Structure 1
Amino acid sequence: MNWLPDANILLLKKRARIIQGIRQFFIDRDLLEVETPSLSQSGVTDQHLACFKTYFIGPEISIEKAEPLGTPLYLQTSPEFHMKRLLSAGSGSIFQISKAFRNEESGRYHNPEFTLLEWYRIDFDHFQLMQEMDQLLQQVLSCEPAKKMTYQHAFMQILQVDPLSASLEQLKEAGQSLHLGEVLDNEKDFDTVLQLLFCFAIEPVIAQEKPCFIYDFPASQAALARISPVDKRVAERFEVYYKGIELANGFHELNDSAEQLRRFEHDNCLRRANALPEMPIDFRFVASLNKLPNCAGVALGIDRLIMLATAQKHIDKVLSFSIKGA
């Protein structure tokens, strides 16, 4: 039986140096490093994310709230909710390098357990945060300054369709050349169609020579971002890509508890409609949002970043042990 690590020791040393450099990047900017739980009593409601679920059996279990197997707990897909509770409590700007978990496929860019860098900047908007992230990417990847492009412009340039005004049928027509067959033809959800088109038509084209920030996502994909006061059709959200790899997702953070609760409830409606289990809403997080200071935050996949920095073609090659060898 093969017991060796997936990554060779030389590459693991390079990985360690990269992470040390990332940590120093934030220390030099006076951000507080924090630690938050991997386990939570709430998961995430986003229908495109799947949480690992386990049960806690201990002496402090509330019999009324516990399921037959114990108190359900979820491994976190991101430290976001807990980090924002720290921000609301007055932590100031913070960062964290931690493990995150998503019960999804294992493949070239995916491992169910992965390392995530997440940071939040008080009194930054998403444009200021993009600028800081660009500086980090240049440091780690020795790349050129990133390009910036709106979500709308990317669709119009590559697919010749406006994602903010097109009908569902117009979007499907624009995607006919992608040969997605029944997957596209039978899809009824507008945002799922947008995501399919983005994934198969836009991601492979953009950011081949330098990183590219895509910003001003449709308001329907706001997630935890504010809606733009300039154009209500878009959210103050961005993603960054390089050489066909999605690296990060960031927001000018929403700090409206009522609006965030509405979005979570809408997510669970979508889950019911798609025969997915509803997820318990994190009401502690929701309650904290009205105290959240003006800030912007972003989550960046460390393993994918190291793939690019070390010219590796598969995520397994930058992990000591992938899920296949753990």
Structure 2
Amino acid sequence: MQSWQPTTTHEARVARAELLRTVREFFYNRKVLEVDTPLLSNGTVTDEHLEAFDTQFNFSTSGKPTQLYLQTSPEYAMKRLLCAQSGSIYQVCKAFRHEGEGRWHNPEFTMLEWYRVGFDHFALMDEVDTLLQEILATEPAQKMTYHQAFQTYLNIDPLIADGQTLISAMQQHNIDIHQPEALSNDSKLQLLFSCVIEPQIGSENPCFIYNFPASQAALAKLSPVDNRVAERFEVYFKGAELANGFNELSAAEEQRVRFEADNQKRQASGLVSKPIDQNFLNALAVGLPPCAGVALGIDRLLMLKIGASHIQDVINFPVSRA
């Protein structure tokens, strides 16, 4: 195959078009508004595990060169629309993450993101499950807490386990990494989850894992029942992490503190601090309505729908051919 050619078949391209039509009909029938937001922004994610592409804009109205970022997700801009009383919204767009190519990842990919006003994370999990049943013809999904998953598959309480307990579990399961003691407990937990738990869940039907540790809250509210956990969920199916969702945090100052803490973690890890999205925080200060939101990878969903073994089978021109 010559490098100018697409890596997809015509049948895969037809399947993508049909999937997108199904998605749009799904939200149209639920009166969820389709929106469009910028891919370039002055702010970006501060999460130490995410890296954004950046570029210099030389024609800013300020007269000075400006650093802009390709968005890893449309989340901040969509929440600004929610604060402007948009009501429930969704978007299908390109997203960009500065990570290596792999079976499940291309640096440029297609994301479906939606926000449901008046939903909590349980109601949104049910809606995600309904969408997956419609597109993939799955049976109703399994649901378990993060705590239950660690106790079931590792016999560890992730909310109280110390570093040495986690290192011992890593050694027991042959997770060989240089200087594991230098990793944060969250990084150790993530390694154990991806290497031990993920391969054992979601093989027959999708599996939702919810109520992650508060230290992994990202943009989710903390649970009013147990403030050690955040109202966040992820869904896994046949080896793929398909979606990440939150009962959305609406407190502007708490969100600022989390962003600043992220940058402190980045500095401690030798990474560059990222600019906090002030427009997003200003919008939160005006008021985000109670809502839950989720981001779902369209390319991965299409892989599962047509039985593709690699993401390049569903993307016309992956980065190596872009």
Report the TM-score when normalising by structure 1.
Answer: 0.96
Q: Which of 172, 180, 187 is matched with 1:185 structurally? A: 180
What is the match of residue 294 of structure 1?
A: 290
One-letter code of the match for 2:306?
T
- 1:248-273 residue CA offsets vs partner (Å, 9 max, x unmatched): 00000000000000000000000111
Q: Which of 239, 250, 258 is matched with 2:253 structurally? A: 258
- 1:169-195 residue CA offsets vs partner (Å, 9 max, x unmatched): 111112222222234633331111111
- 1:11-47 residue CA offsets vs partner (Å, 9 max, x unmatched): 1001110111011100100001000000000111000
What is the match of residue 42 of structure 1?
A: 43
One-letter code of the match for 1:4?
Q
Q: Does 1:100 align with 2:101?
A: no
Q: Do the aligned partners of 1:172 and 1:184 also contact (CA within 8 Å) in 2?
A: no
**What SS does the aligned partner of 2:51 have?**
coil
Residue range with higher mean Cα deviation, 186-195 or 132-141 = 186-195
Matches of 1:22 and 1:314 in 2, distance apart? 22
What is the match of residue 243 of structure 1?
A: 238
One-letter code of the match for 1:23?
R
**Structure 1 segments (4+ residues) deviating >4 Å:** none
Matches of 2:274 and 2:320 in 1, distance apart? 28
Matches of 2:107 and 2:33 in 1, distance apart? 27
Report the TM-score when normalising by structure 2.
Answer: 0.98
Matches of 2:3 and 2:162 in 1, distance apart? 53
Q: Does 1:150 align with 2:145?
A: yes
Q: Do the aligned partners of 1:203 and 1:244 also contact (CA within 8 Å) in 2?
A: yes
Q: Do the aligned partners of 1:151 and 1:217 also contact (CA within 8 Å) in 2?
A: yes
Give the gaps of 5 or more residues in structure 2.
none
One-letter code of the match for 2:47?
D
Matches of 2:155 and 2:216 in 1, distance apart? 21
**What SS does the aligned partner of 1:86 have?**
helix
Residue 113 and residue 61 in structure 1: after superposition, are their counterparts in 2 closer, same or farther (change >3 A)? same
What is the match of residue 276 of structure 1?
A: 271
What is the match of residue 315 of structure 1?
A: 311
Q: Do the aligned partners of 2:170 and 2:176 also contact (CA within 8 Å) in 1?
A: no
Q: Do the aligned partners of 1:184 and 1:193 also contact (CA within 8 Å) in 2?
A: no
**What SS does the aligned partner of 2:68 have?**
strand
**What SS does the aligned partner of 1:182 have?**
coil
Residue range with higher mean Cα deviation, 45-54 or 168-177 = 168-177
What is the match of residue 113 of structure 2?
A: 118
Matches of 1:179 and 1:202 in 2, distance apart? 14
What aligned pairs does 1:212-251 form with structure 2 within 5 A after superposition?
212-251=207-246
Matches of 1:320 and 1:209 in 2, distance apart? 29
Q: Do the aligned partners of 1:38 and 1:100 also contact (CA within 8 Å) in 2?
A: yes
One-letter code of the match for 1:106?
E
One-letter code of the match for 1:95?
Y
Q: Do the aligned partners of 1:39 and 1:75 also contact (CA within 8 Å) in 2?
A: yes
Matches of 1:228 and 1:304 in 2, distance apart? 30
Q: Do the aligned partners of 1:187 and 1:193 also contact (CA within 8 Å) in 2?
A: no
One-letter code of the match for 2:8?
A
What is the match of residue 194 of structure 1?
A: 189
What is the match of residue 62 of structure 1?
A: 62
Q: Does 1:211 align with 2:206?
A: yes
**What SS does the aligned partner of 1:175 have?**
helix
Q: Does 1:169 align with 2:170?
A: no
Matches of 1:215 and 1:183 in 2, distance apart? 30
Matches of 2:54 and 2:95 in 1, distance apart? 13
Residue range with higher mean Cα deviation, 167-176 or 96-105 = 167-176
**What SS does the aligned partner of 2:320 have?**
coil
Matches of 1:185 and 1:103 in 2, distance apart? 24
Q: Do the aligned partners of 2:243 and 2:295 also contact (CA within 8 Å) in 1?
A: yes
**RMSD between superposed Cα atoms in Å:** 1.0
Give the gaps of 5 or more residues in structure 1.
none
Residue 251 and residue 184 in structure 1: after superposition, are their counterparts in 2 closer, same or farther (change >3 A)? farther
For residue 197 of structure 1, report the CA deviation from its aligned partner: 0.6
